[in-house]
Amino acid sequence: MRDPLSERVKEIKPSGIRKFFDIVSEMPDAISLGVGEPDFETPWHIREEGIYSLEKARTHYTSNAGLKELKQEVAAYLHRRFHLNYHAQKEVLVTVGGSEAIDIAMRAMLNPGDEVLIPQPSYVAYLPCTTLTGGVPVPIELQEKNQFKLTAEELLAAITPKTKVLILPFPNTPTGSIMDREDLEKIAKVIIDHDLWVVSDEIYSELTYSGNHVSIAAIPGMAERTLVINGFSKSYAMTGWRLGYVAGPERVISQMTKIHQYCIMCAPTTSQYAAVEALRNGDEDVAHMKEVYNQRRRYLMYAMKEIGLECFEPFGAFYIFPNISRFGMTSDEFANLLLQKEQVAVVPGTAFGDCGEGFVRISYAYSLDTLKRAMERIGRFVKWLDAGRPEE
């Protein structure tokens, strides 16, 4: 029989951690610190607005690019929080999660052979989304000694005549690293000098713990060459609603809207009504969740020190990324052994790029109670490793 599959699809590696998670879900006593979504539920007033929209029988499509009032709220929000100026009806597109925005941004921008710079470790979708369009992903390996920030030198070294787009994934999963204004200004200069475009994935923008998030689009000269991707999943604990958005120059957004309308039609209507409420009245919820995350973050940093795991202090998202290289194991081996020995699941750093080797990701989207129990177990595990893994 004829092979039904496309060569490009076959090229994409399946996510390696799927198998690992299958094992975890079979272990009832396992504590998982692997989940990359908020443990909070969507605030009730937002859920209630979704329910109300159903009661009012708002069960139809919205316009392709999204509800007019939602786009207005998005533009107002981006201005209020990050000093960005977008035309609500021409420069904003409401998508099914930030993930759709990443996909259609790549499809709208890339010609076969165009190179996309992808700082790693980072979110797992940038690479396949690039490959699927015929683009060429070029990973940039971020360094722990730079707090996993992207430096202008690293960027310069990766640029070739074929480079077209830089993906900027900050605040970052899995490292928790952030880029402040000064860091971004250096990047912006290189971008402008080389006439590149930036896809800035700012989905964790509300979760920064050392001052307000700065968008690269706020740096002079950058808005006209940047797509800002954001959404409701992390900031408002709305992962299951599948709602995000992208803002950028009209000539790109209009083309992305074309793809969006052919493959998605429009983002879910109920979610869009709920999102309007989130942007109008959700600031306090965001502040509260951020405060709780920050408390857990401080607790974990303290616990890492106590346990004796080296870990740079991250100021964004809800992850820490401890360095486990001193045990002479791969991230995979470490994670598997930890699961086997103490029933704690953490994600191997290599799930987010080869340069994640030597690290594991720990999520703190878990209650303090869970974190404390897990840290006790990890502490015991590290002691056991340090003692030369004695048989019991």
User: Would you state the structure tokens that stand for residue 339, as one six-digit string?
Assistant: 């699961």
**Of the listed pieces 2-10, 30-38, 60-68, 139-147, which binds other proteins according to CB under 8 A?**
30-38
Task: Please tell me whether residue 25 binds other proteins under the rule CB under 8 A.
Answer: yes
- Cα–Cα distance between 268 and 242 in angstroms, integer? 8
- Cα–Cα distance between 215 and 83 in angstroms, integer? 9
Residue nearer to other proteins on the CB measure, 120 or 173: 173
x/- mask, other proteins, residues 150-189, rule CB under 8 A, reads: -----------------------x----------------
CB 317 within 8 A of CB 204: yes
Q: Which of 79, 80, 87, 298 binds other proteins (CB under 8 A)?
A: 298
CB 159 within 8 A of CB 185: no
**Of the listed pieces 14-22, 48-56, 71-79, 109-117, which binds other proteins according to CB under 8 A?**
14-22
CB 231 within 8 A of CB 98: yes
Task: Please tell me whether residue 335 binds other proteins under the rule CB under 8 A.
Answer: no
Residue nearer to other proteins on the CB measure, 241 or 366: 366
User: Would you state the structure tokens that stand for residue 268, as one six-digit string?
Assistant: 């879910």
Task: Please tell me whether residue 124 binds other proteins under the rule CB under 8 A.
Answer: yes
Strand partners, 231: 244
Residue nearer to other proteins on the CB measure, 298 or 383: 298
Q: What is the largest CA-CA distance in the chain?
A: 66
Task: Please tell me whether residue 121 binds other proteins under the rule CB under 8 A.
Answer: no
CB 311 within 8 A of CB 320: yes
Rg of the chain over Cα atoms, rounded to whole angstroms, equals 21
Task: Please tell me whether residue 39 binds other proteins under the rule CB under 8 A.
Answer: yes
How far is Cα of residue 217 from the mean position of the Cα atoms in its chain? 18
Residue nearer to other proteins on the CB measure, 19 or 87: 19
Task: Please tell me whether residue 34 binds other proteins under the rule CB under 8 A.
Answer: yes
Task: Please tell me whether residue 368 binds other proteins under the rule CB under 8 A.
Answer: yes
Cα 107 to Cα 133, 155, 230, 263, 269: the distances in Å are 6, 23, 18, 12, 24
Q: Give the binding site for other proteins (CB under 8 A).
A: 15, 17-18, 21, 24-25, 32, 34-37, 39, 123-124, 173, 291, 295-296, 298-299, 302, 345, 351, 366, 368, 372
